[in-house]
């Protein structure tokens, strides 16, 4: 009976050692799987961060382009008018210069462009002077 108990004791010790080794192997596998999952999560986070950085860079580029466009649009009215409009202005100025001496020769008042109420007053003065001229012609 003692021999049987000693044999059973050795077999139980071997089984315990075997199960201990299996437990250690499974624990290592669990750790390896957790490391793989951790690496996958880290890689996914790196990819997300890179995607976010790319999106930010693209948005900053768009922002810079739009600000440049806005600055150009706000500077455009300050720029001199295109060359096509310049000849028209010169022709108009020449016509007004030609018209001014004719008015002065008639004995009328030379009118310059004045804004607001002063312009209205000058027009009224011209009308009154032309009415007085007509009255003089009728009288004589």
Full pLDDT tens readout for the chain, 140 residues: 989 999 999 999 999 999 999 999 999 999 999 999 999 999 999 999 999 999 999 999 999 999 999 998 888 765 555 555 555 555 554 444 444 444 444 555 555 554 554 545 556 667 777 777 766 666 65
Note the pTM of the prediction, 2 decimals: 0.42
3-state DSSP assignment of residue 57: helix
Measured CA to CA, the distance from residue 98 to residue 110 in angstroms comes to 12
Q: Which residues neighbour 108 within 8 Å (Cβ) at sequence distance 6 or greater?
A: 126, 129, 130
Measured CA to CA, the distance from residue 38 to residue 44 in angstroms comes to 10
Measured CA to CA, the distance from residue 70 to residue 75 in angstroms comes to 8
């Amino acid at each position: 009976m003692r021999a049987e108990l000693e044999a059973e004791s050795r077999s139980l010790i071997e089984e315990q050692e075997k199960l201990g080794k299996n437990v250690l192997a499974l624990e290592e596998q669990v750790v390896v799987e957790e490391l793989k999952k951790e690496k996958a999560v880290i890689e996914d986070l790196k990819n997300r961060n890179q995607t976010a950085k790319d999106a930010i860079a693209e948005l900053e580029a768009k922002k810079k382009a739009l600000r440049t466009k806005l600055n150009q649009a706000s500077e455009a009215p300050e720029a001199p008018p295109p060359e096509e409009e310049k000849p028209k202005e010169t022709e108009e100025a020449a016509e007004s210069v030609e018209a001014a001496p004719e008015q002065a020769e008639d004995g009328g008042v030379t009118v310059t462009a004045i804004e607001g109420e002063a312009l209205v007053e000058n027009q009224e003065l011209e009308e009154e002077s032309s009415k007085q001229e007509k009255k003089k012609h009728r009288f004589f």
